Amino acid sequence: MVMEKLSGRFDEYELFYLNEREKKIEARDGGVSAVEMKEEEGCALRAVKDARPVFAYTYDRDDPAGKLIANVEVLLPVVEKDESYILPKAYARYQQSDLFDTKCLAVSDDEKKALAIDVEKTIREYDKRIVAVRNCEFQQIELEAAIESSKGVRARAVKTIFLCSALAVAKQDDEEVSWYDWRWSHYLAGVDSKKMGIDIAEKAVSMLFAKQIPTGTYEGILTPRASADLLGILSESFLAENLFKDKTRLKGKEGASCFAQAVTVTDSGMEGLDAFPFDGEGVPSGNNVVIDRGVFRTFLYDVYFANKLGKASTGNSVRGGLKSPPKCGSRGMAIKTGSSDIRRTMTNGIVIEELMGTHTANAITGDFSVGAVGFIYRSGTKEPFQGVMFSGNVFDLFNNIKEAGTDITYYGSFGSPSLYVEGLKISGT
């Protein structure tokens, strides 16, 4: 019905539909402290009239077409022309989606509440030095999205996301530290909440009495959590938008060896938290090899910047929700695993567990200076450290990676195993 009302008003148009249902359960003091449920349903319109692109969205269920048309018609006279703004063509097929957990719908709310309570119990019982558990939450998200356009695009898919998170507080004498972490999966059975609880408790206790370590350049390991954060900084340099705006150091370097041979990076629309059979404008999700054993292979394109640069879309249009138009972005980016568990052989060096302040990094130059916590190993003896700054450049860092581990973990849309790296610059005592 909405598409019929849009017909004939624009040269091209696209309707995006989103329905997202979320249930959140919080456990505290051995029981459920809060249950929150919310639903977002609406549609967004992208349209082109006389080369002028417009965007609008609405949550109105009674007359969505009327609201969308009224909003974009107000915008049309003041929007500049852009000949490169062309909606994608129709595609014959999409990947089969295996992202929806139908069995989870049969799991009762009582069982899901018990899961959250059990996480808190696991953390509390791990060690008597655990004095508090906060933000212990279980979330269930059901998402349905569809795109239909005047150019014949017809795409629809559903997925589920399950998340568990918690923060543990450990105290001994006058020393108090906390540790937060989270796990997710598209399937309820894929969230090992008990292991997560043990990991959080173990980290909190092990970080007690952490001290600064001497200023210096170290060899050591970046955990998946830290590595994924650094990959997020580097990922900005792979985007076609930044290529077009001359905001990447990789311009003109396709086919060149820019990183360590141990580094292979892929970007897949079917991996990570945002996995889906199609991207934000209905282009089928693909698997793009961005770095192949150190060689930079390709930038990532949405339709708009592909048109600007004379390329084809790589399926890299992303939507941040209903309220904003799609834009060029990475989808499910990950560093390929190695062949051995590099954490097991650690005897000398540092392990950086977590970084703070990665949002302050310069995505164009790659320079960063962030807080870091972790452990220092001296002849096999392990001691925690905190209160230090970890500085460097992501391009240099990814050129100093000697080995990747096997423990790949996705934190949101970025995944990485542990990485063994030389030249880690620490400012401490």
For residue range 61-71, list pLDDT tens digits in order: 889 999 999 99
Task: Render 235-249 in DSSP notation, one character per residue.
Answer: HGGGBHHHHHTT--T
Domains of the chain: 2-206 (3.30.2290.10), 210-429 (no CATH)
For residue range 313-367, list pLDDT tens digits in order: 999 999 999 999 999 999 999 999 999 999 888 889 999 999 999 999 999 999 9
In this predicted structure, the answer to whether residue 104 has a pLDDT above a threshold of 90 is no
Task: Check if the beta carbon of residue 288 is closer than 8 Å to that of residue 329.
Answer: no
Percentage above 90 pLDDT, the chain: 91
Which helix (DSSP H) or strand (DSSP E) does residue 64 occupy? helix 64-75
d(CA 184, CA 90): 33
- What would the mean pLDDT of 380-404 be, rounded to a whole number? 96
pTM for the model: 0.95
Per the listing, tokens 């719908």 go with: 105
Q: In terms of DSSP H, where are the helices of 187-343?
A: 193-206, 224-235, 240-244, 303-309
* Nearest alpha-carbon partner for 414 in 200, 291, 271, 270: 271
* Nearest alpha-carbon partner for 2 in 157, 159, 146: 146
For residue range 222-281, list pLDDT tens digits in order: 999 999 999 999 999 999 999 999 999 999 999 999 999 999 999 999 999 999 999 999
pLDDT score recorded for residue 96: 83
pLDDT score recorded for residue 367: 97
pLDDT score recorded for residue 263: 98
* Nearest alpha-carbon partner for 404 in 391, 390, 393, 418: 418
